[in-house]
Structure 1
Amino acid sequence: MTITILHNPACGTSRNTLALIRNSGAEPEVIEYLKTPPTKARLQQLLTAMGAGPRELLREKGTPYAELDLANTKWTDDELLDFMLAHPILINRPIVETPLGTRLCRPSELVLDILPHAQQGAFSKEDGEVVINAQGQRV
């Protein structure tokens, strides 16, 4: 079973999500989307699988969102996708695709709903927050 994560190693949520995937015993295909952005077709495919529109995937913090006036509702979905492709940092992350579904995993614990295997041990986020206890149960 293939698990794919669109990952930004500079993002704590993305790192925690990747660690949760690995804590389930899976080794995902890691796509550093800032280095290797998805194509427009791939981005549309992910959005369709998530049941979301481009506006739901736009990231504001640390991006040119305000400078590009992306809060303005004049932009079509197609234009928003073009902005994301021109500025991949606008794509919110991490996006995880598994056989059980595709999801924007913010917060990182959302990945647990689409992982095909249970966690293999306790897990705490980088900030110390316990997500999986010693019995392998979600906290």
Structure 2
Amino acid sequence: MTVVIHHNPNCSKSRATLDLIRAAGHEPVVIQYMKAGWTKPQLQALFAVAGITAREALRTARGPAKELGLTDRAATEEQILDAMVAHPELVERPLVCSPKGVAICRPPETVHDLL
């Protein structure tokens, strides 16, 4: 089974999720999205499979979401997606994909549903 983790090595939750994937016997494809970036179609596809909106995947705890006006209810999905492409850190992490689905693995133990 192929498992893909959109990973930020500076994030403790992302590192913990990666450790759980490996502990379960999988060597995932690791995409360091802060270096690789995102495309709008990629995010739209990932969110569609996960059954979430861009707003639900928006990282608001840290980063520029508030300063960019993205936490305002008037911000559209298109505006949020465009901002996520411009600022990869705006996507909540880690995002994990497997044949069982796609999920934001917060808390990290959420990854077990995908393995």
Number of aligned residues = 115
Cα deviation 1:3-62 (Å, max 9, x = unaligned): 100000010100000000001111100001100112111100000000000000000122
- Partners of 1:99 and 1:108 in 2: CA distance: 18
Question: TM-score by structure 2 length?
Answer: 0.96
Q: 2: CA distance between counterparts of 1:76 and 1:3?
A: 31
Bigger share in helix: 2
Contact 2:69-2:75 within 8 A present in 1 as well: no
| Residue correspondence of structure 1 range 31-50 to structure 2 within 5 A | 31-50=31-50
Unpaired stretches in structure 2, ≥5 consecutive residues: none
Structure 1 runs not aligned, ≥5 long: 116-139
Superposition map of 1:52-91 within 5 A: 52-91=52-91
Structure with larger Rg: 1
The structure 1 segments of at least 4 consecutive aligned residues displaced by more than 6 Å after TM superposition are none
**Paired residue secondary structure (1:73):** coil
Cα distance, 1:2 vs structure 2? 1.2
Deviation at 1:84, TM superposition (A): 0.5
Structure 1 CA distance, aligned partners of 2:68 and 2:78?
A: 15
The TM-score with structure 1 as length reference comes to: 0.80
